[in-house]
């Protein structure tokens, strides 16, 4: 990870931003303006940090991020409990909109969306054209729906992105698949800023009832915990927030874990 800002706090070994949303957007714009390839933005929430503690590649992906924003109420709860300087939640959707507004107002940018379905991608493209005319959607792609991509799949996706020459690549494959894909292909992507595509479906108003309930509850749990694999397998939803808060009990004020749960 390239530490480009001093406004970070160590939580479980991850350098989570403690800056305001304005500071995080300013840093992202700086990364884009550098025109150097391979800068990576990811989101940290209780779900992702708990999963990363059990998934080595996902853990390395989060540690490699140039900007790791606190997208989860549980992160703020941990900060308050341990007197850490994380005071503001920066949701993926708020970050996306804030960055897009600023880039649109100051000359525009080129976006590529990798993920979701063709239907959702069309709706996003239309809405951006309507609301942010200076943002050019220079490409979209729906990846193959499979647990693991082949090398040919990866080469095809990377080639499509590089040919479009975007300023920002938004990757939406659900966590942790999207972060792991970015991490594994980071050195091949010719894009100044690559960001995971969390909460991007809000842009096309394609939210489910469960997502709205979770937002009101402010538990910090990712919607995919309820809508993902566990219910399909007949299992009860995993409450990652509870695990995360239990882990925090063994963490000192520097963000290090003193014991395992």
**247: in domain:** no
Q: Is residue 85 part of a domain?
A: yes
Please give the average per-residue pLDDT across 39-51, as a whole number: 91
58 in a domain, yes or no? yes
pLDDT at position 136 over 70: yes
Per-residue pLDDT at 175 = 87
Domain count, the chain: 1
Does any domain span residue 161?
Answer: yes
Q: Identify the domain containing residue 89 by its residue range.
A: 8-143+150-204
- pLDDT value at position 224? 36
What number is the average pLDDT over the span 195-202? Answer: 67
What is the pLDDT confidence band of residue 5, given thresholds at 50, 70 and 90?
low
Please answer whether residues 112 and 168 qualify as being in contact, where contact means their C-beta atoms are separated by less than 8 angstroms.
yes
Tens digit of pLDDT for each residue in 152-163? 999 999 999 999
Q: What does the pLDDT look like over 59-92, one tens digit per residue? A: 999 999 999 999 878 888 877 777 888 878 888 8
8: closest CA among 77, 120, 90? 90
Q: Is residue 119 part of a domain?
A: yes
Beta strands in the chain (DSSP E): 8-11, 14-17, 39-44, 67-70, 109-115, 135-141, 168-172, 193-196
Whether residue 232 lies inside any domain: the answer is no
Mean of pLDDT over the chain: 80
Read off the tokens for 122: 């069309």
Assessment of whether the complete model's pTM goes beyond 0.75: yes
Residues of the chain above pLDDT 70, percent: 74
DSSP per-residue string spanning 134-170: TEEEEEEE----SSS--HHHHHHHHHHHHHH--SEEE
If DSSP codes are grouped into helix, strand and coil, which group holds residue 195?
A: strand
């Amino acid at each position: 990870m390239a530490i480009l800002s001093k406004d970070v706090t160590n939580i479980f070994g991850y350098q989570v931003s403690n800056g305001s949303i304005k500071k995080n957007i300013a840093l992202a714009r700086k990364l884009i303006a550098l025109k150097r390839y391979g800068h990576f933005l990811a989101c940290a929430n209780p779900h992702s940090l708990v999963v990363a503690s059990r998934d080595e590649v996902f853990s390395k992906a989060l540690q490699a991020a140039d900007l790791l924003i606190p997208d989860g109420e549980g992160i703020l709860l941990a900060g308050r409990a341990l007197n850490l300087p994380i005071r503001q939640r920066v949701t993926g959707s708020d970050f996306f909109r804030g960055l897009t507004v600023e880039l649109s107002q100051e000359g525009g940018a080129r976006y590529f969306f990798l993920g979701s379905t063709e239907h959702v991608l069309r709706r996003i493209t239309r809405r951006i054209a309507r609301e942010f005319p200076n943002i050019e959607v220079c490409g979209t792609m729906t990846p193959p729906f499979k647990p693991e991509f082949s090398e040919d799949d990866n080469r095809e996706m990377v080639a499509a992105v590089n040919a479009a020459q975007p300023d920002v690549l938004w990757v939406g494959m659900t966590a942790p698949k999207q972060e792991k894909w970015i991490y594994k292909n980071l050195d091949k992507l010719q894009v100044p800023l690559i960001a995971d595509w969390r909460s991007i479906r809000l842009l096309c108003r394609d939210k489910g009832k469960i997502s709205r309930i979770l937002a009101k509850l402010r538990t910090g749990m990712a919607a995919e915990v309820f809508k993902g694999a566990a219910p399909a397998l007949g299992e009860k939803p995993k409450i990652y927030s509870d695990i995360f808060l239990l882990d925090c009990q063994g963490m000192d004020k520097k963000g290090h874990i003193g014991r395992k749960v």
